[in-house]
Amino acid sequence: MASKNDGDHIFEDLTIEILSRLPLKSVLRFKCVSKYWYSLIRSCTFINKHLQRHGNNARLLVKHYNYNTAAYAFALFPDETLAGFPLVYYDVDNVQLPHEPRIFGYCDGILCLWDLDRMALWNPATREFTFIPMPQPNVPDNFCTWPNFGFGLDPTTNDYKLVWIRRYFDYEKDYQYASAIISVYYLSTNSWRLFEVDLSWVHYVHLSSCSTCLNGRYHWLTSDRDRTDTQDFCYDAIIYFDFSNEVFGEIPGPQDIPVSKLGNLIIYNDSISMTCFYPHDPEIYVDLWVMKKEGCWTKDLTIGPLVDVERALGFWKNGELFVETRSNSELVLYNPNTKEIKNLEHRGRYLDLELFMYKESLVSFKGENECPKGHNVSSTARVQDFFTSDPTLVIWGDQIAQN
């Protein structure tokens, strides 16, 4: 006969199994049933189980530009068919962003937002929103930089980390410095670590149009901008930041891509992959290169011919390709098997459409014991305020650096 403790354990496992199969909206309501259920739903065990459950399929989240309101907005498609009018979680269906924000990272339902002088984390499913204090190194006014970001989960500590790369250029001397300032943010402690790294071996770093974090590493595509006119091929490489040991590494890219082809790094079938095409041809053929194992690339397929294509954005679940049109920056889905073209009726401007395969998540910024981490709120108005008012949490210089 099972003991009372055994029975309690079986009851808890059964409760977790049943609740983890429910939509997130229903789970949030059950938090009010009792203190026991509240604690259970807040546990890491349940959060991870609900995130990974088979029924919690990824849906398409699009950052686009609303020409009727002259503002940016987020749209979430209701199911995998991409049919019907897209919605945004719960009451956040009027989040309009008047500036040009960028989603510089996505992981486990958390979006990282950046708007030049402020950063924030946002979980649309739970409506949690938190500002991130921004470290600003003291550099001369004549220095300019274009940042690169990465966001993901450290598998060794289960801590969410953000890496910020800043390489500086002195435009008065026309000189780029070899050292880069690296800032690493830790969600668990709401703190940064700043250090310098010699990245002289890295040439031009491309921003990805979607999250490229895989197996605890964030990846960027680089290209050699110092090539001569006599070169037939452009050397593309992948650099990565390992969230566990916090070091950079390099992986050779595909070697047989002509200079005039444009490339974009994506995740395809759980592998680092790259789309590339000739941007000025009247008919576009998009090649997909997949890294089967580290440094070994295979051209898996070629899709086309396509017309009126500005860039390839990524793939949907059955091999369909998302593209942005050249004529009016519309989001279009192309099925290479049926040749069907579906206009998703969302537009961008200045090549700023962003797509994410979004899964609902209970991941909280407050931690399992609900100790506050940063400035946490759960108001739609604060999401809007993030892009409309002056930043309130900016820490300068070495005040925030931790050795």
Instruction: Provide the mean pLDDT of the chain.
Output: 75
Closest CA to 162 of 237, 232, 243, 86: 243
> What is d(CA 302, CA 289) in angstroms, rounded to the nearest whole number?
9
Mean pLDDT of all residues in 356-373: 65
Confidence band for 33, pLDDT divided at 50, 70 and 90: confident
CA distances, 14 to each of 30, 46, 93 (Å): 15, 12, 35
Kindly state the tokens that stand for 204.
């031009």
CATH 2.120.10.30 residue spans of the chain: 59-358
Task: With H, G, I as helix, E, B as strand and everything else as coil, classify residue 400.
Answer: helix
Mean pLDDT of all residues in 232-239: 66
What's the per-residue H, E or C state across 75-90? EECCCCCCCCCCECCC
> What is d(CA 40, CA 369) in angstroms, rounded to the nearest whole number?
12
Diameter over CA atoms, the chain: 82
Could you give the percent of the chain with pLDDT greater than 70?
A: 73
Contact assessment for residue 273 and residue 291, using Cβ atoms and an 8 Å cutoff: yes
Block residue for tokens 């925030």 = 400
| pLDDT value at 163 more than 90 | yes
| CATH of segment(s) 59-358 | 2.120.10.30
pLDDT tens column, 81-101: 776 555 443 323 344 444 566
Containing 151, the helix (H) or strand (E) segment is: strand 148-154
pLDDT at 248: 94
pLDDT at 336: 87
Query: Dihedrals φ, ψ of 277, to 5°?
Result: -165, 165
Mean pLDDT of all residues in 5-11: 57
pLDDT at 343: 87
Contact assessment for residue 363 and residue 122, using Cβ atoms and an 8 Å cutoff: no
pLDDT at 148: 85
- Per residue in 179-218, is it b (16+ CB within 10 Å) or e — as a string? ebbbbbbbbeebbbbbeebebeebbebeebbbbbbeebbb
Higher pLDDT, 330 or 125: 330
